[in-house]
């Protein structure tokens, strides 16, 4: 567990001069990551298909200089990803820290899944992350420093759809492969696999299933050995910790955050 007293970088601008790109940036987890990384001095590109201008304005009003930029691109399109990186390269040279957080849940229960729906989910959750990663690596190689982080998901009692799980599971392999192939360039990878996180999305899912939201949230809290689900702010702190870790051994890691439910 990461103790706040040990995370001394929180009060310093330890990421000043670094450029961060966050996908799925306006959701509960994404917005917390954007706020945490700008707090640490990084300039953050806020990538999502909606709400990016509002979040950028909310962040920038807290500082004397702009620390974030709205980038409303659809990462399921390879051409849109190229356009986004072209903008970032022209404005800030390139991406130093990439946080692949974007996801769509998809529709349909296995095995009755429409192929088009499966592809729609995979194109955002996995292919989109791959496009962004491929575009980020050349700059990271040139700088001989880079961080590529993924938000994963395990099979859980909340009923994660098959396409979503398939896409997110792909991050584990990418994390291992990229860490080995580009280790000599100082490029490090990390995946945080979240069983349950206390976000607006999980409440939306509960409501769509006709469940009493607050009652369902309390039940999810009880399933955790810690008595509560992890929060978006805690996720953001973990990502900051791994982005700043000095040891070269902190690389290619996948950690499961499930409140101690899984016994290893």
Domain boundaries, the chain: 15-194+231-257, 197-229
Q: Residue 124 is encoded by which pair of tokens?
A: 């955002």
Q: Are 195 and 159 in contact (CB under 8 A)?
A: no
Count, residues in the chain: 264
On the question of pLDDT at 155 being above 70, the answer is no
CA–CA gap between residue 137 and residue 186 (Å, rounded): 11
What CATH number labels 15-194+231-257?
3.40.50.720
Q: Are 28 and 199 in contact (CB under 8 A)?
A: yes
pLDDT class of 159 with cuts at 50, 70, 90: low
pLDDT digits (tens, 9 = 90+) for 233-246: 999 999 999 999 98
| DSSP code at position 154 | -
Q: Which residue has the tokens 């001069």?
A: 17
| Mean pLDDT on 203-209 | 70
Q: Are 251 and 177 in contact (CB under 8 A)?
A: no
On the question of pLDDT at 108 being above 70, the answer is no
Q: Are 166 and 119 in contact (CB under 8 A)?
A: no
pLDDT class of 226 with cuts at 50, 70, 90: confident
CA–CA gap between residue 113 and residue 120 (Å, rounded): 12
Enter the pTM of the model: 0.87
* Between 95 and 214, residue with greater pLDDT: 95
Residues whose CB is less than 8 angstroms from the CB of residue 4 and which lie 6 or more positions away in sequence, other chains included: 10, 237
pLDDT class of 126 with cuts at 50, 70, 90: very high
| Mean pLDDT on 16-26 | 97
Q: What DSSP letter does each residue of 33-97 carry, written as one string?
A: HHHHHHHTT-EEEEE-SSSHHHHHHHHHTTSSS--EEEE---TTSHHHHHHHHHHHHHHHS--SE
Q: Residue 143 is encoded by which pair of tokens?
A: 């700088």
Query: What is the predicted pLDDT for the residue at 154?
Result: 72
């Amino acid at each position: 567990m990461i103790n706040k007293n040990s995370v001394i970088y929180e009060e310093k601008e330890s990421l000043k001069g670094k450029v961060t790109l966050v996908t799925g940036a306006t959701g509960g987890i994404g917005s917390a990551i954007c706020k945490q990384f700008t707090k640490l001095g990084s300039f953050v590109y806020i990538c999502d298909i909606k709400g990016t201008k509002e979040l950028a304005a909310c962040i920038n009003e807290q500082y004397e200089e702009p620390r974030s930029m709205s980038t409303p691109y659809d990462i399921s399109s390879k051409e849109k990803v190229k356009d986004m990186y072209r903008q970032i390269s022209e404005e800030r040279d390139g991406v130093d820290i990439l946080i692949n957080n974007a996801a769509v849940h998809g529709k349909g229960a296995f095995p009755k899944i429409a192929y088009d729906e499966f592809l729609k989910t995979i194109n955002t959750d996995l292919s989109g992350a791959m496009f962004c990663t491929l575009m980020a690596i050349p700059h990271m190689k040139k700088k001989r420093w880079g961080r590529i982080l993924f938000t994963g998901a395990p099979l859980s009692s909340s009923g994660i759809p098959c396409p979503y799980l398939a896409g997110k599971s792909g991050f584990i392999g990418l994390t291992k492969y990229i860490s080995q192939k580009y280790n000599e360039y100082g490029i490090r990878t990390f995946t945080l696999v979240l069983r349950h996180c206390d976000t607006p999305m999980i409440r939306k899912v509960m409501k769509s299933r006709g469940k009493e939201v607050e009652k369902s949230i309390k039940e999810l809290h009880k399933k955790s050995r810690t008595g509560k689900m992890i929060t978006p702010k805690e996720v953001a702190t973990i990502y900051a910790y791994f982005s700043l870790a000095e040891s070269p051994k902190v690389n290619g890691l996948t950690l499961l955050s499930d409140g101690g439910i899984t016994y290893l």
